[in-house]
């Protein structure tokens, strides 16, 4: 390699990396360049060079890709939450579909995976029903809320306190979050300013308000607000409640959660209601869910509904089947399956999620669902070997690292008629499908679903059958 740091070079961008950077080659040497998209011809400055690849900074676009679009959010570059906002939505979808296909070919060893076209959103903005905004100070020392820049704890301010000097028009509304968030944050910051309530400073572990969590119901329009504080009590909280409820924007629950630890974990272990309910309510399909500030809940309700519909369709239930829903969270898929199955067993490692799952089952009158706390790879062998429970259909929805090898083994020996694999990481999906297909399963269909427009994430649901 003849290049050295600070050299200016011209490169054609060909692909996108997992963090959304453009990838190009200079004489066979791979470079990653932020803020570029496939098709761009870019002049870049080489920054950090490793043996087989390097990083470069974009200096100018010499020829813009046909898929390039303008950022719609002024904070998109520094914020890092929307890694693909400068790529047309059509091109984002094509890239995600190709990611899934190429992982299945490269890692899974499938020659021609039975892919269905990716399910995208009609309106790929303002889809997130949940946001957690860090609260702090901008460069001028004004109270502000925003997001942390990518891989850092430097806050990119979006909304600032109303101090008589800042114009409301300077506030930025996150394009993938709900529009109402800006109004709520503005009100909280104005209240903080008025009652001299400080924002948390990570370096010194001083100050009170750390984060604001806001959740919105998709079908119900209910809103839940929770302040995460570095204190045991929140002063002037009644005034805050009056101010927020006066907005008449659907708030049904206002609470605070105490987190006095030096930690990156956002929420504390518990929460206290200031006004309203302990939870907000939303629906997925026919089922209702009560969601507390601490509960896990899918963040893109519209696409979740489509994903679950597909999962249930692939499960092909007739009412006679015993079904395992593994990695079940708060039981959202379990309840969708229960409408059409004889019996559903949900397994999940987080005890609080199982508590929510049981409440949700009761709330919806589902009597044919039982939930177990524990690792899927431990609970399933027990249910199968000790209690003799065999499932005709197994649904798995593991975290990014995929299924544990021993769970795959149990599924292979149990030989369910169908496995529905829901995955948030195509590479571990491909790895696990290979193991299952080396032992007698076949992949019947692969359906990518875009749960997270503007980001590099892609969800996939697959059907496997046993011959
Ligand atoms: N199916 C749910 C949640 C999927 S997220 C939904 O659609 O909402 C993955 C879930 O797997 C998380 O709730 C996580 O807590 C859980 N989990 C992680 N490791 C696990 C394990 N080894 N066994 C069981 N559950 C696990």
Helix (H, G, I), strand (E, B) or coil at 312: helix
Nearest atom in ligand 1 to 308's CA: 7
pLDDT, tens digit, 9 for 90 and up, residues 59-71? 999 999 999 999 9
Confidence of residue 166 (pLDDT cuts 50, 70, 90): low
Q: Is 424 labeled as catalytic in the residue annotation?
A: yes
- What count of Cα atoms within 13 Å lies in the side-chain half-sphere of residue 196? 0
Could you tell me the pTM of the whole model? 0.93
- CATH 2.40.50.140 domain extents, the chain: 8-63
Q: Which two tokens stand for residue 59?
A: 């200096």
Average model confidence (pLDDT) across the chain: 95
Q: What are the angstrom distances between the C-alpha of 73 and each of 76, 85, 187, 456?
A: 5, 8, 22, 17
The CA 331 to ligand 1 mean position distance, Å, reads 10
Residue-level pLDDT at 162: 81
- CATH 3.40.50.150 domain extents, the chain: 93-123+300-466
C-alpha 181/C-alpha 173 separation (Å) is 8
CATH code at 130-291: 2.40.50.1070
Q: For ligand 1, say whether the CB of 379 is within 6 Å of any of its atoms.
A: no
Chain-centre distance of CA 252, in angstroms?
24
Q: For ligand 1, say whether the CB of 350 is within 6 Å of any of its atoms.
A: yes
Q: For ligand 1, say whether the CB of 333 is within 6 Å of any of its atoms.
A: yes
The CA 352 to ligand 1 mean position distance, Å, reads 12
pLDDT, tens digit, 9 for 90 and up, residues 220-247? 999 999 999 999 999 999 999 999 999 9
Contacts for 227 with CB less than 8 Å, ≥ 6 apart: 188, 209, 211, 212, 213, 234, 255, 256, 257
Confidence of residue 309 (pLDDT cuts 50, 70, 90): very high
State the angle between helix axes of 426-438 and 405-414 in degrees (0 to 180), rounded to the nearest 10. 40
pLDDT, tens digit, 9 for 90 and up, residues 256-302? 999 999 999 999 999 999 999 999 999 999 999 999 999 889 999 99
CATH code at 8-63: 2.40.50.140
Does the structure show a pLDDT above 70 at 456? yes
- CATH 2.40.50.1070 domain extents, the chain: 130-291
C-alpha 334/C-alpha 369 separation (Å) is 7
Confidence of residue 52 (pLDDT cuts 50, 70, 90): confident
Task: Say yes or no: domain 93-123+300-466 is CATH 1.20.1070.10.
Answer: no
**Which one, of 329, 318, 394, lies nearest residue 360 by Cα?**
329
Residue-level pLDDT at 1: 64
Q: For ligand 1, say whether the CB of 332 is within 6 Å of any of its atoms.
A: yes
pLDDT, tens digit, 9 for 90 and up, residues 409-431? 999 999 999 999 999 999 999 99
């Amino acid at each position: 390699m003849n290049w050295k740091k600070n050299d200016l070079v011209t490169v054609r961008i060909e692909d996108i990396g997992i963090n959304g950077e453009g990838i190009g080659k200079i004489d066979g040497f791979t470079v990653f360049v932020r803020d570029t998209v496939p098709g761009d011809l870019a002049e870049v400055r080489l920054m950090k060079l490793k043996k087989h690849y390097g990083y470069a900074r974009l200096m100018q676009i010499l020829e813009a890709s046909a898929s390039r679009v303008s950022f719609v959010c002024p904070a998109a570059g520094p914020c890092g939450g929307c890694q693909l906002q400068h790529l047309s939505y059509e091109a984002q979808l094509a890239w995600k579909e190709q990611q899934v296909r190429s992982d299945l070919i490269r890692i899974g060893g499938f020659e021609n995976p039975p892919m269905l076209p990716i399910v995208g959103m009609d309106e790929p903005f303002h889809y997130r029903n949940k946001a957690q905004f860090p609260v702090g100070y901008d460069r001028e020392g004004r109270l502000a809320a925003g997001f942390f820049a990518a891989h850092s704890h430097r806050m990119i301010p979006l909304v600032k306190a109303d101090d008589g000097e800042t114009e409301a028009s300077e506030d930025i509304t996150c394009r993938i979050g709900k529009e109402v968030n800006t109004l709520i944050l503005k009100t909280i910051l104005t209240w903080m300013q008025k009652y001299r309530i400080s924002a948390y400073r990570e370096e010194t572990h001083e100050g009170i308000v750390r984060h604001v969590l806001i959740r919105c119901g998709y079908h119900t329009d209910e809103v839940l607000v929770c302040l995460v504080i570095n204190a045991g009590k929140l002063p002037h909280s009644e005034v805050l409640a009056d101010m927020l409820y006066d907005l008449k924007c659907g708030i049904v629950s206002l609470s605070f959660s105490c987190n006095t630890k030096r930690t990156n974990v956002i929420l504390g272990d518990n929460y206290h209601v200031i006004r309203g309910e302990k939870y907000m309510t939303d629906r997925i399909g026919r089922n209702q869910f009560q969601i507390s500030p601490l509960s896990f809940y899918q963040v893109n309700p519209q696409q979740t509904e489509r994903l679950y519909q597909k999962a249930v369709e692939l499960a092909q239930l007739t009412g006679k089947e015993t079904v395992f829903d593994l990695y079940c969270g708060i039981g959202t898929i379990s309840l969708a399956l229960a409408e059409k199955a004889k019996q559903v067993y949900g397994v999940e490692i987080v005890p609080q999620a199982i508590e929510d799952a049981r409440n949700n089952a009761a709330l919806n009158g589902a009597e044919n669902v039982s939930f177990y706390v524990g690792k899927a790879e431990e609970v399933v062998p027990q249910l199968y070997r000790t209690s003799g429970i065999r499932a005709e259909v197994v649904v798995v929805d593991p975290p990014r690292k995929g299924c544990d090898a021993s769970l795959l083994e149990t599924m292979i020996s149990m030989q369910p008629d169908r496995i529905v694999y829901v995955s948030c990481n195509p590479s571990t999906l491909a790895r696990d499908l290979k193991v299952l297909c080396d032992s007698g399963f076949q992949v019947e269909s692969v359906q990518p679903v875009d749960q997270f427009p503007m980001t590099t994430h892609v969800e996939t649901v697959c059907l496997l059958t046993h011959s």
